[in-house]
Structure formats: structure tokens, C-alpha cells
Amino acid sequence: MSLRARLLAAVGAVALVALVVADFVTYSSLHSFLIGRVDQGLQAAYAPVQGVLSGHGPDAGPGGLPPGPPGSGLGPDGQGTDQPTLFNLTRVAPGTFVEVRAANGTVRAEQPAYLPGGTAREPNVPAHIAGLAAGPTAGNAAAVYFDAASTSSGGPDFRVRASRLPDGSALVLAVPLSDTEQTLHRLLFVELAVTGGALILAGLIGWWLVRLGFRPLAGIERTAGAIADGQLGHRVPGASSRTEVGRLAATLNKMLERIEGAFAARDETEGQLRRSEARLRRFVADASHELRTPVAAVSAYAELFERGAESRPEDLARVMSGIRIESARMGSLVEDLVLLARMDEGRPLDRVPVELVAVAAEAVDASRAVGPDWPVRLEASGPVEVIGDRARLRQVIDNLLVNVRAHTPPGTAARVRLSAGQDSARIDVEDDGPGIDPDDAQRIFERFYRSDPSRSRSSGGAGLGLSIVGAIVAAHGGTAEATRRPGGGSVFSVLLPLAPS
């Protein structure tokens, strides 16, 4: 059974119980009210009837009933009635059954109730009336009310009032309940019709309300289906803090955002792993390729030595010089690879205040000494201080100046310019050489990248100098970029966070 059907059944059950209770209370209240009105009518009829029977009422006949005991108004044997007196009873209590019983229970006088159309009907009053006090009573005291069936088949029920007269005899008054029963039957029919119609209307309105209330749940169902198909960007509509379904939608949307973020992080991590694996493979291949040449050269010099170069002084000097040069080249390459590996591992650098102008001045002096054919000028308007590793920052400037000497002809002027912005320090190394190609500028800081693949290892190096620059700058929280000057030449720029003032 679906949730909608259960809700409709519950609403219908509650409505049915409420309507039945309301119908019962209404029916009982009206029944009590109508019976009370009948009892009031019987009580009001007692005095006129008692007056007629005693011969003292305004409508009493001549002499009343045949004389009986003093004050009784009845004959001594209780047999027979006086027609004028019965006529007067009909006038004072029309449609009312009247019966007078002696103290011993025998009937002394009786007047049937005449229904519309002249049909006479009498109630089936028991010989012994329970609750009726024995002995004479005054007025309306100790009256007993009860219901009684008709003595004839198909006759109406009666409402009966029994009380004692002053002489000890019993006066029984009864009226048919035809009108009361018709009214109650009509009320019962109306209640059944109204209850049935109300249940049908409540069912239709409940079905519409349940459908309207379940509309956000249908949206949740559609969203869940879309997410199950892999569309993680879907969100549940109707999020609100005012309703239970709205709060559920808001909670589900938060959960979906976290799930989508987790999947995106996983995809990003997988992408990084794939890129790292690709870089590692390329790195190993390039490192192996770079080491192959010096290793092969050392092997060739060793073979030349074994073939008798030790007996020829000129060949021995050339072999030893070549071995020393290739060994130094291998040592430099290995040191660069070790430095890059440490950077990749995230090993901490020194974090001390470093004044960049002094570091740049040392690098410029060293460059002038090593390459006097490449004039270098330092430009700085004031001190620039950052937090970092002094030796590694010096290596950044050294490598940039080495790059100038490696890729520009002798006589090319270069400038090292330092400046401080609002929150970053800037190092620019400019040269007046042929400039860098824009396509090469995008990959110039990659490891083993060469703008001229045909360049020999002896003249071009291993292609790790600028990659070391990029790794050191990134470890300091900065960025490095290369651009081509509009008028010719290249600009290598490094941005580093300034030290707190």
C-alpha cells in the first residue's frame, strides 16, 4: 500500500470518526430535547386533567365522575364513566391518553388517544409501574416518566407520565411519539446523507491536498533518478525552512553538494595522479637520456685509455680532461635532479627575512666575473625584503643570468630590476637578445624542455635551470613567467610575497 493511499485512508478514518461522533451527539441532543418537550407537555396537562376528574376544573362536567370516596371524583366501584367528563378530558388534553387507577391497580377510568384521522391508540402500560410511590401525594410530586409501546400492532410508541392523586389513585397520562420519531428519523436520514457526502468531499479534497503535498517528493524522486544516472549537478527543488519537505530538500541539496564536491575532488586527484605519473615517466626518460651522453663519453674515454692512451702523454691528458668534464657534468645534473626531487617532496626551506637587493647584487657581481662579455646592470629604488631561503633565492637569480648567457650572443646587455608592490616583490631579468618565442614561453619552466631541440648538450645544458627556478619560486609561494619584449629581447619575471612590515 502506497504512502498516498495510507494517508488518504487515515484522513478518511479520522473524518468518519469525527462525523459519526458529531452525528451521535446531534441525534442524542435532539432526542433529549424533544423528549423533554413532551415531558413538559405531559406535566402541563396534569393540572387540567386532574381538575376535570375531581369536578373542580373550569371544564368539569356536571357533577364530575360518579361520586366515590371523598375527594376522589370517581364512583365507588370504578365502573363506567360520565360522557360529559370524558368529553371535557378530550378538550383539555386532546390526543392524550388518560387512565385512572385505583390504589389496588384496577382501572377506574380510561380515555384513549385519538390520532389524526380518528384512530384510537393506547399504550401498553404495565400493571405495576416501577418507581411510582405508594400512597397519596400532592400535586406533581413523585411523577414517573417512561416509554411504552402501543397495544396495537403498528401503533406508535408513547411517552407515559404516572403520578399519584391526592386520594392515592394513580393518574397515567401518555402521548404518542409519532412526530418525535418522524423528526428523529428525518434527522438520521439527513445525517447519513451529510456524512456520506462529507466523506466523499473529504476524500476528494484529501486526494488533491496529498497530491499537492507530494509534489516536492516527486521532484526529489526525479532528482534522485537523475543523480543515479550520473548527473550530479541536479538539485532538489522546493528547498525551504518553513516546511518539513522543504527542510528535507535543503538537507538533501547540502548532501548532494558534498557528494559532488567529493566526486570532483576525486576526479581532480585522479587527474593529478595521472599528470604526476606522466611527468614522472617523462622525467625518468629525460633524466636517463641526459645521463646517457656523459656516461657514454666516460665509457669511451675509459676504452681509449685501455687501448694504450696511458703510453701517449697527449692522449692521456685528453682522456683525463674529458672524464673530468663529463663527471662534473653528471654531478651537476644529479645535483639538479636531487634538488627538484626535494622540491617535489615538499621539504621545508629556510624561512628568514631576506633582503633581495643584496642577493641580486651578489648574483650580478658573479655574473660579471663569469661572463664579462654579457654586461649586467642592477636597478633598484630601495630595499626589498621577503621571507625565504637566501641560498635558493640567490640560485633563482643566478640561473636566470645563466639563461641569458646561454641563449644570447656575446655583447648582449641584461638588467636585473627589483621593485616592491603593495603585497609582493618583483624581480625582472631583461635582456636585449633575440627574444623568446611565445609558444616556448608557455613551457619554458618545464623540466628538460628545450626551445631548440637540435641544440647540443655541450652548449645547451640539460634543460633544468629554469625548471629549478620555477620550483624554488613555487616553494616560496610565488610565480614565475617569461614574456617577449615588444622591442626585442626577453623578460623573466618572478613575484614573491613581501615580508610583513
Region 184-195 average pLDDT: 93
What is the C-alpha to C-alpha distance for residues 428 and 482, in angstroms, rounded to an integer?
10
C-alpha cell recorded at residue 207: 486526494
User: Where are the strands (E) in 287-364, listed by range?
Assistant: 352-355
Lowest mean pLDDT among 166-175, 206-215, 327-336, 400-409: 327-336
Q: Which residue, 314, 347, 380, sits at the end of a domain?
A: 347
Q: Is 383's pLDDT higher than 50?
A: yes
Decide the pairing of beta strands 479-484 and 490-497: antiparallel
- Is the pLDDT higher at 293 or at 467? 467
Q: Mean pLDDT in the chain? A: 79
Q: Are residues 252 and 335 in the same domain?
A: yes
* Helices and strands per DSSP (H, E), number in the chain: 11, 14
What is the C-alpha to C-alpha distance for residues 413 and 427, in angstroms, rounded to an integer?
17
Domain that holds residue 422: 348-497
Per-residue pLDDT tens digits for 55-111: 655 544 444 443 333 333 343 333 444 444 555 666 777 888 998 888 777 888 788
Q: Is 455's pLDDT higher than 50?
A: no
Q: Directed axis angle between helix 313-345 and helix 244-306, to 10°?
A: 170
Region 121-141 average pLDDT: 74
Q: Are residues 118 and 78 in the same domain?
A: yes
Burial class from Cβ neighbours inside 10 Å (0-12, 13-18, 19+) for residue 114 reads middle
| DSSP code for 440 | H
Half-sphere exposure of 244 (CA within 13 A, CB side): 3
Q: Is 401 left (phi over 0), alpha (psi -120 to 50) or beta?
A: alpha
Q: Are residues 338 and 366 in the same domain?
A: no
Q: Are residues 411 and 466 in the same domain?
A: yes
Any idea what the CATH number is for the domain that residue 447 is in? 3.30.565.10
Residue 63 is assigned to a structural domain of this protein: yes
Q: Are residues 142 and 31 in the same domain?
A: yes
What is the C-alpha to C-alpha distance for residues 46 and 163, in angstroms, rounded to an integer?
9
Residue 312 is assigned to a structural domain of this protein: yes
Residue 362 is assigned to a structural domain of this protein: yes
Q: Are residues 95 and 18 in the same domain?
A: yes
Residue 324 is assigned to a structural domain of this protein: yes
Q: Are residues 126 and 164 in the same domain?
A: yes
Length of the chain: 501
Residues 499 and 477: beta-carbon distance below 8 Å: no
**Distance, C-alpha 356 to centroid of its chain:** 56
H or E segment to which residue 86 belongs: helix 83-92
Per-residue pLDDT tens digits for 192-205: 999 999 989 988 88
Closest CA to 293 of 467, 462, 86, 475: 462
Q: Are residues 246 and 337 in the same domain?
A: yes
Residue 219 is assigned to a structural domain of this protein: no
Burial class from Cβ neighbours inside 10 Å (0-12, 13-18, 19+) for residue 480 reads buried
Region 129-145 average pLDDT: 71
Residue 442 is assigned to a structural domain of this protein: yes
Q: Is 420's pLDDT higher than 50?
A: yes
Burial class from Cβ neighbours inside 10 Å (0-12, 13-18, 19+) for residue 225 reads exposed
- Residue 499, φ and ψ in degrees, nearest 5: -70, 145
Lowest mean pLDDT among 60-74, 116-130, 308-322, 387-401: 60-74
Q: Which residue, 144, 166, 184, sits at the end of a domain?
A: 184
| Radius of gyration, CA atoms only, the chain | 60
pTM above 0.75, yes or no: no
Q: Label residue 346 by pLDDT band (50, 70, 90).
A: low
Number of domains, the chain: 3
Lowest mean pLDDT among 151-165, 307-321, 402-416, 441-455: 441-455
Q: Are residues 323 and 389 in the same domain?
A: no
What is the C-alpha to C-alpha distance for residues 206 and 292, in angstroms, rounded to an integer?
84
Residues 429 and 491: beta-carbon distance below 8 Å: yes
Q: Is 26's pLDDT higher than 90?
A: yes
**Which residues sit opposite 150 in a β-bridge?**
123
Residue 196 is assigned to a structural domain of this protein: no
| DSSP code for 70 | T
Q: Are residues 318 and 377 in the same domain?
A: no
Q: Which residue, 326, 347, 368, sits at the end of a domain?
A: 347
From residue 386, alpha-carbon distances to 33, 353, 476 in Å are: 100, 6, 10
- Is the pLDDT higher at 418 or at 435? 418
DSSP per-residue letters across 413-431: -EEEEEEE-SSEEEEEEEE
Give the amino acid at 354. Answer: V
Region 350-362 average pLDDT: 91
Decide the pairing of beta strands 158-164 and 170-176: antiparallel
**Which residues sit opposite 136 in a β-bridge?**
none
Q: Label residue 4 by pLDDT band (50, 70, 90).
A: confident
- Most confidently predicted of 355-364, 447-456, 458-467: 355-364
Helices in 55-141 by DSSP H: which ranges? 83-92
What is the C-alpha to C-alpha distance for residues 97 and 123, in angstroms, rounded to an integer?
8
Give the amino acid at 267. Answer: D
What is the C-alpha to C-alpha distance for residues 426 and 432, in angstroms, rounded to an integer?
20
Q: Is 458's pLDDT higher than 60?
A: no
Q: Label residue 164 by pLDDT band (50, 70, 90).
A: confident
Per-residue pLDDT tens digits for 475-496: 888 999 988 888 788 999 999 9
Decide the pairing of beta strands 414-420 and 376-380: parallel
Residue 28 is assigned to a structural domain of this protein: yes
Q: Is 454's pLDDT higher than 80?
A: no
pLDDT at 66: 39
Any idea what the CATH number is for the domain that residue 274 is in? 1.10.287.130
Lowest mean pLDDT among 51-65, 166-180, 426-440: 51-65
Q: How many Cβ atoms are within 10 Å of 131's Cβ, its own excluded?
A: 10
Q: Are residues 390 and 313 in the same domain?
A: no
Q: Are residues 445 and 360 in the same domain?
A: yes
Q: Is 28's pLDDT higher than 70?
A: yes
Lay out the sheet containing 144-148: strands in order across: 107-111, 97-101, 170-176, 158-164, 144-148
| DSSP code for 160 | E
